[in-house]
A = this chain, B = another copy of it.
């Protein structure tokens, strides 16, 4: 399918999916207001609904999120989680963290909500660097295991979040890691590792990257943004390559949304023939 073809399929898919609940539309609007140039940080309405369904399908008791921003994906996951479950979500930016905390309190996902005996999962926001928060959290709670992890923070640290979780065996037996932006706007295919492969095969060089840009940017700014985005994509590509060759896990990189990887520990089940 051509560009128009894929855009049409995306539109069709959205039109035939349940629309996002009202409070999420409000939050999307509020993100645009507070962060005009980076409101596209939040996941899409469709991805939000998918996360809610996935939580209902898998019923995780303990969930970890890296990268809360204003709380969109956290609230989407919480809405599908069982009522006695908890979601830890990490955010470095203190302004976004405060806005998210306000939201969680207003909507009743905080401690008080729990004590008042309603049916929502609890969301606990850990402000500060994600890796530091993760270290503090796991030190405070020994034997903590995550049933689901959503990695959506700084791309350069993807590999560190992943390594910390795997090296410390923090994933429960049926636990899984979801990695957002695994295709990073398609720019992963233009990373140095991929260019190498292309050159080896004797194909044409890759076209220049074309990231989403702010309409008001000057040419110099555009160029800087393009370079920065490609750097992020290179981090994600390096991460993808390491996961794909990690013998401890199975991974499926779904070419959906901005690329969503699903990672689990390899199953111990042996298919012994009868």
Contacts and interface: CB of A to CB of B under 8 A. Distances in A.
A186 interface: yes
B53 A176 contact: yes
Interface residues of A, number: 69
Interface in A209-264: 240-241, 243-244, 249-256, 259, 261-262, 264
A67 to B, nearest CB: 21
Nearest to A245: B16
Contacts of A116: 274
A123 to B, nearest CB: 13
A273 interface: yes
A16 B240 contact: yes
B256 A8 contact: no
Interface of A: 1-3, 5-6, 8-10, 12-18, 46, 49-50, 52-54, 56-59, 79-80, 83, 106-108, 110, 112-113, 116, 118-120, 174, 176, 182-183, 186, 188-189, 194, 240-241, 243-244, 249-256, 259, 261-262, 264, 267, 269-274
Contacts of A5: 3, 186
A272 B119 contact: yes
A54 B50 CA distance: 13
A126 to B, nearest CB: 21
Given A174-B59, A186-B1, A252-B53, A13 B274 contact: no
